Amino acid sequence: MRTITNTFNVYSFKELSEEAKEKAIESFRLAVDFPYNEEDIKSIEEISKAMNCDAEYYSYDGICYSVEFTSKEYEEIETLQGKRAYAYIVNNYLMPNKSYKTYWKNKSIYADDGKYWKRKSNLFYSWDDCPFTGYYMDCCFIEAWKNWEKNFNKHSTVGEFINLVADTLGKAWTEDNKFQLTDEFIIDMIEANDYEFLENGKQF
């Protein structure tokens, strides 16, 4: 706590009473502007581009979002089923965006500084990295693939996979926004920025 010109006291969040903390949190919740929406949109656009789709997204409340992909492929492509659909998705959507595994060794004679050596595999790859923008929403693309593959059967089509990717992105975007409204996120933001408050919880 610190005193301003002998008139009123200013408190850190931790110094507030429980009632004042609740008021401070609610005030921030009402003013939240979802700072990561730009990253969400960028991921969606890059994924749709990689899948040769047009992306549309909308929200009725600014929190919950729906994402729709419209394929630019021939209709015959969207209706591919079974093994043909599987092969098309792997060859056209997955493989071009894979990340080859990186191997490191210590104290290698081939290292630039004599300590480390780096090699990328030409055979093995993973989906651990975010292949499009580096933001976590990229992972939704891989999540959708794993779910589609897990439930794969002769009736699964390329069109269903496209819809699943879009649906997964919409749900992830919504969950991201909802998390930013939680007490946990707001408190972390307040403390990380060292915001100060009056005794009643109003931001100073």
Q: Which pLDDT tens digit goes with each residue over 48-75?
A: 999 999 999 999 888 999 999 999 988 8
Q: What is the pLDDT of residue 116?
A: 56
Of 88-92, 152-156, 196-200, the one with minimum mean pLDDT is 152-156
Report the predicted TM-score, pTM, of the whole model to 2 decimal places: 0.76
Q: What is the 3-state secondary structure (H, E, C) of 161-202?
A: HHHHHHHHHHHHHHHHHHHCCCHHHHHHHHHHCCCEECCCCC
**Domain layout of the chain by residue ranges:** 1-32+183-204, 35-180
Residue 162's pLDDT is 95
Percent of the chain with pLDDT over 70: 79
**pLDDT tier, 100 (very low <50, low <70, confident <90, very high otherwise):** low
Report pLDDT digits (tens) over 5-39: 667 788 888 888 889 889 999 998 888 888 788 89
Tally Cβ neighbours within 10 Å of residue 57: 18
